[in-house]
Each structure stands twice: as structure tokens, then as C-alpha cells.
Amino acid sequence: MTPTPTTDIKIDARSFSLFFGKAIALREISLPIRRNSILGIIGPSGSGKTSFLRAINRLNDLTPECHIEGVLAIDGEDIYHPHFDPVALRKRVGMVFALPIPLPLSIYENVVYGPRLGGRRPLRTELDELVENSLRAAFLWDEVKDRLHTSGLRLSGGQQQRLCLARVLAMRAEVILLDEPCSGLDPISTAKIEEALTALAARHTIVLVTNNTKQAARVADETAFFLMGELVEHGPTRQLFTVPRDTRTNDYVTGRFG
């Protein structure tokens, strides 16, 4: 059973470190993430952004010799506790990757694939409603409503990425993780993804890893700057971009390195 929320913090990293064998990927990250908000994570390549994102739904567990120190909690519950079920976690925490990976199925079947694996057999009317609601939330419904039974692979790159987002929403994920979701998209497709994320933040906790500092400035409520596996600075986005506390943050957001 999911604990009843008692604070506005959805995800809480406390002195969280991540190791791959003897190599340290993240060093003592302490980062509270507010529920129903967008956290942008910025930093140069190799700074640990994606490692932290994958730690939130324990995808790093699949890497040999991965181990952690400290605490990473969702709704106050340590997700790395020995008795915590990572499969149940991944139903609550969905992830959208940089490269869209639609299933080789119809648009409709892409959206309902996860719920059908959930154990119960939803009625067709339930599935129809779920598909429409998920595609609407991903700002894709109006573009595909007349071709739901054509292959998802025939969509454009930007549409495929929004289909992947709809797939996560169909699972009713509480947390949405996005790893460079717009890195290969044109400006129009990027704007639609950003519009969807802004609307979804009213009901979901969103963590967005991006190398595009302007994107973080546009959509994130708060921003965290990672560098060489450490959290350098975290705060309201406007503050971090205009009056950063650390000179390294200022150098990065002004383009002096990265």
C-alpha cells in the first residue's frame, strides 16, 4: 500500500550515492522533489543526470555491480529497502527515453499494452476511454484519432515521443521521468511536448533531464545543476538562472562550459 502523503515532497534523496563497481556515479545527493511540479536537471555530459533519473525507478539495478548508499524515498518510503518491490515501483514511476521506442503495434495497442499486463481484463469501453484520455493528455489525440489502428511506427518522431508519453500515462504513473525527450525533435514537436508537460504537472511529479538549458528555463518549476556526479545547486528555476549561488552554475548557464 502506498503511504498517505504527509508533506509536499514526493521524492526525497538524502545523502544518496550510486556506485558501479568502484566507480562513483553520484556522490551524496540530497535533493527533495515537490509533488505536482516539474524539476529540471541540467549539467554537462557525464555529470550523473541520467544515472540519478534511472535511480528513481531502479533501472540501474540491471547494471552489474551497481550499489547505493543513503536513501532515495517516494512518499516517505525508501525504494531501496530490501523489501521494496521494484516491479510495483515501475508501475508508479514511468520513464520516457531520448529515443522514442513505440511498440510494433497499432497506436491503440501501444497505449493499452501496459494496462492489459496489469492482471485484470478491462472492458473495451474502459480501454477506449483510457486511450482517448491518455492521448489527449499527451497532446496527440487530435492528430491520430482517425487512425488509431494504424501502426505507431508510422508516426513522426515527435508523435512517437508523445505516444510513448501516452503509454506512461495509461499506466496511471504518479511520477514521470524524461531523459532528453526532445533531443532529436524539431521546434514544433518540442513545443508540444513542453505544453503537455506543463499541463501534466498539475497531477504528476515530473523530472526532466535536459541538456537544453533554455528548455529547463521554460518549463521547470525548480532546477538542479549536476556536475561530475555531484549536486552543485538546486532552487527555483528563475533564481538559479538569474542569480545562481555557485560560480560553476553561473558559468554553465551562461555557456562558459558544457
User: Using 50, 70 and 90 to split pLDDT, how confident is the model at 6?
Assistant: low
**What is the reported pLDDT for 257?**
79
**What is the reported pLDDT for 184?**
86
174 touches 202 (CB < 8 A) = no
**What is the reported pLDDT for 2?**
46
Residue 4 inside a domain? The answer is: no
Q: How many domains does the chain have?
A: 1
What type of residue sits at position 158?
A: G
Q: Cβ-count burial of 119 within 10 angstroms (0-12 exposed, 13-18 middle, 19+ buried)?
A: exposed
**What is the reported pLDDT for 21?**
92
For the stretch 176-195, pLDDT in tens is 999 999 998 999 999 999 99
**What is the reported pLDDT for 4?**
47
Rounded CA-CA distance 224/42 in Å is 6
End-to-end Cα spacing for the chain: 42
For the stretch 68-117, pLDDT in tens is 999 999 999 999 999 999 989 998 999 999 999 999 999 999 999 988 88
| pLDDT tops 50 at residue 1 | no
- Three-state DSSP state, 238: helix
Rounded CA-CA distance 118/3 in Å is 21
Average pLDDT over every residue of 37-45: 97
Residue 258 inside a domain? The answer is: no
Q: Cell 508501475 appears where? A: 91
Q: pTM for the complete prediction?
A: 0.93
| pLDDT tops 80 at residue 258 | no
Average pLDDT over every residue of 152-175: 96
| Least confident range of 36-50, 106-120, 139-153 | 106-120
CATH of residue 213? 3.40.50.300
What residues have CB less than 8 Å from 47, skipping those under 6 apart?
Answer: 226, 227, 228, 229
**What is the reported pLDDT for 121?**
73
Rounded CA-CA distance 252/247 in Å is 9
Residue 78 inside a domain? The answer is: yes
Residue 177 inside a domain? The answer is: yes
**What is the reported pLDDT for 256?**
87
**What is the reported pLDDT for 117?**
83
Residue 3 inside a domain? The answer is: no
Show the domain range for 94: 9-253
Residue 1 inside a domain? The answer is: no
> What cell was used for 155?
508516426
- As a whole-number percent, the residues of the chain with pLDDT over 70 amount to 96
